[in-house]
Chains A and B, each alone.
Chain A
Amino acid sequence: MTAPPQQKGHFGRFGGRFVPEALVGALDELEAAYREAKQDPAFQARFADLLTNYAGTPSLLYDAERLSAAVGAKILLKREDLNHTGAHKVRNVLGQALLAQRMGKRRVIAETGAGQHGVASATAAALLDLECVVYMGEVDTERQALNVARMRMLGATVVPVTTGSRTLKDALNDALRDWVASVDTTHYLLGTAAGPHPFPEIVRDFVGGIGIEAREQILARTGALPDAVAACVGGGSNAIGIFHAFVPDEGVRLFGFEAGGDGVETGRHAASITGGSSGVLHGARTYVLQDDDGQTVDSHSISAGLDYPGVGPEHAWLHDTGRATYEPVTDAEAMAAFQLLCRTEGIIPAIESAHALAGAARIAPRLRAELGREPVIVVNLSGRGDKDVHTAGAYFGVLDEREEIVMGEQE
Chain B
Amino acid sequence: MSIADVFGKAKAENRSVLVGCMPAGFPTVEGSIASMLAMADAGCDVIEVELPYSDPVMDGPVIQRASDIALAAGVRTRDTLRIIEAVASRGVPVVLMTYWNPIEKYGVDAFARDLAAAGATGMITPDLIPDEAGEWIAAADKHRIDKTFLVSPSSTDERLAMTVGQCRGFVYATALMGVTGARTAVSRQAPDLVARIRRADPDMPVGVGLGVGNGAQAAEVAAFADGVIVGSALIRCVLEAPDQAEGERKLRALSAELAEGVRNRP
Binding site for B on A (CB under 8 A): 8, 16-22, 24-26, 163-164, 169-170, 173, 176-177, 180-184, 279-283, 285, 288, 290, 292-296
Contact = CB atoms under 8 A, between A and B. Distances in A.
B241 interface: no
A164 B101 contact: no
A21 B150 contact: yes
B53 interface: yes
11 contacts: A19-B57, A20-B58, A21-B154, A22-B150, A177-B60, A180-B57, A184-B177, A279-B105, A290-B105, A293-B76, A296-B55
B102 A20 contact: no
A181 B68 CA distance: 22
A180 B55 contact: no
A18 B55 contact: no
A294 B163 contact: no
A409 B218 CA distance: 51
A159 B97 CA distance: 29
Contacts of B71: 295
Interface residues of B, number: 43
Interface of B: 53-61, 64-65, 68, 71, 76-77, 100-106, 126-129, 131-132, 149-156, 159, 163, 174, 176-179
Contacts of A279: 101, 104-105
Contacts of B131: 8, 16-17
Contacts of B105: 279, 290, 292-294
Contacts of B174: 20-22
Contacts of A295: 53-54, 71, 102
Contacts, number: 117
A288 B77 CA distance: 18
Q: Which of B55, B102, B179 has the largest number of chain A CB atoms within 10 A?
A: B55
A25 B154 contact: yes
Contacts of B102: 293-295
Given A21-B151, A24-B159, A26-B154, 13 more contacts: A16-B131, A18-B128, A21-B159, A22-B174, A163-B64, A163-B68, A164-B68, A169-B55, A177-B179, A180-B177, A279-B105, A281-B101, A293-B102
B129 A19 contact: yes
B177 A282 contact: no
A165 to B, nearest CB: 8
A185 to B, nearest CB: 11
Going nearest first, the 6 A-B pairs with the smallest beta carbon separation are A294-B105, A22-B152, A181-B178, A294-B102, A25-B154, A294-B101
Given A173-B57, A296-B54, A18 B132 contact: yes
Nearest to B152: A22
A146 B53 CA distance: 33
A294 B61 CA distance: 21
Contact of B58 (A26, A180, A183, A285): A180
